[in-house]
Structure 1
Amino acid sequence: MKLGKLLVALAGLALSLGVAGQTLAAEAGPVKIGVYLPLTGQNAFGGQLELEGVRLAHKEMPTVLGRPVDLVVVDNKSDKVEAANAVKRLVERDKVVALIGTYGSSLAMAGAEVAEKAKVPGVGTSCTNPLVTQGKKYYFRACFIDPYQGAAAATYAYENLGLKKAAVLMDMTNDYAVGLSSFFTRSFKKLGGEVVANLKYSSGDQDFTAQLTELISKKPDIVFMPAYFAEGAIIMKQARELGATFVLMGADAMDNPDTLKIGGKAVEGFLHTTFPYDVNMENMSAEAKTFTDAWTKNFPNKD
């Protein structure tokens, strides 16, 4: 929803911050904005969706400050080293004055460090780990952060659903999952709930039988699993095949239509936190309405 304003906001940031701003103000020609997203690899589904949003914003706002905007798009390949290298190339080789990106907190943390040293402003899209922007003057974000998201999930589970006994299943190799699991656990315990297990897996795993069997033996009311949608959907299918009856809850990385395609009937009853938007929502904000109208106009046959 907010991507439609990023091009103008980034240009304004570049005008007011450091060397990039001086360059933008002094030179003629296109305003070059770098976009680094995971277009291949584990996080490609998120990066490709966000690139559609960035391109839609560009189509709706092809100029800024009276000058054409050029997008320089780089694939960070869902890899932290590649993310850092992508920002380095965009800044040093392509001479961009600002950055958009990236999906994936681990990737954004790596890219933001490079941008901060170069004093080139950037805006993260859906990177929710607080460390992405913590202590930085040049890096920002257009989304909530995981302390808020973790607390919201815990509060909803404990107070709204009345579930008092929780367990956590997380990807131990993913900064997003580790951080969000910690915030959920902390909030759930503070509310008075009990966390009976904290089990782990690694990115790319396909068999979760051992972890799910142990979770079933612990008899939690709810299992919090801040997974990406592909692994999350597999976990749901395997949990139901093993006869698990606990509630499964995830977070914003599960917000993908393919969750239903992969998980099928096992997705029934699944809960997850995410940004409050639906094309048919009541009391839609002005930003959401602008985005919805633009999307419908440009992609009339695509949800």
Structure 2
Amino acid sequence: MNLSKLIKLSNKYSKADHDCVIPYVENLFWEKFKCISNPAWRTQTDSPYEILTYMVDAYSLLPARPDLASLFCWQAINHSYNDLQIKKYVGNRKINAILQDDVGIDFVRVLLLTNIDKYYNPLHMYVCRLHEKVYRFVASYLLEGYLCKNNENMYEVFVNRSCKKMSNIVCIKKLVENVYGPAYNGIAAPYVSTFSFHKGITDSKKARHIINSFAKSIQTLMNYHSLEMDDKNTGRKVTYELNNEDEMKILLNGIIYASRCTNFHGGVSSRLNTIYANNESYMEYMNVFLTEYEILAIILHSQCMITDDVLLNVHQNLNLMFTK
């Protein structure tokens, strides 16, 4: 959406005009989408009531706004992993202190990794279809974190928790510190003014190339768990490896949770309303939504809120993911 259209809509809103300028790619969504459901849900106590309230809001935004639908889906996931924590710590008087996102996400990761065939393998198929643009987002904030690393105050204030958590993954740490970070730092002069962080990029074309290359490396690791690169210093091949646990850390903390936090707290524009939004943006967020929805279904299945048949049915939403 260009700026003149944005301003025109702000001054005199028309939903029809808005719909015309929002990126959209047809994929016959409602003809193919498989909903989380259970005929046994009849009352507020025998159904995941709060979760369903958020999912109805998500449905109301689909297929036009997967970016906003994914935020409601995250809220549903948030409630579902809080339930996981409550069931584990029932009777603990400090339960409110325990209910934290980091702890809840760890619960989900353990759930996925202790049920490889039932939960991890189907979700990994979703990971393999995530759009490259998702990984550009990850690469960008990891490199921004690298620029801040030599300034303790800058690091604590401007680097998000997802970046700090991701930086502890061995292969990611090596790629940042030995390959992409120094190259990015060579075209940057970071500084802070009026409480804002500025990267001070001196060559935007080269910066995009570094981010895109790093994004492709992360995507390869996520999909295949192995990446081979040439070491420019020695001329030898270097192999980087990623295990299942680190893959789930990147997915849950580095992509989904980081995206949610950026949209809520990051001072960014509404994703599909920006002047940079395009069909690629739409496909990125539709894939993120469908991945979140798969995670939600897995959690509900682990809590016996949906049957095996329903979970298998939801797995079929993989066919709605964009592959380009």
Give the structure-1-normalised TM-score.
0.31
Structure in which a larger fraction of residues adopt strand = 1
The structure carrying a bigger helix percent of its residues is: 2
Higher relative contact order (CA closer than 8 Å, sequence separation 6+): 2
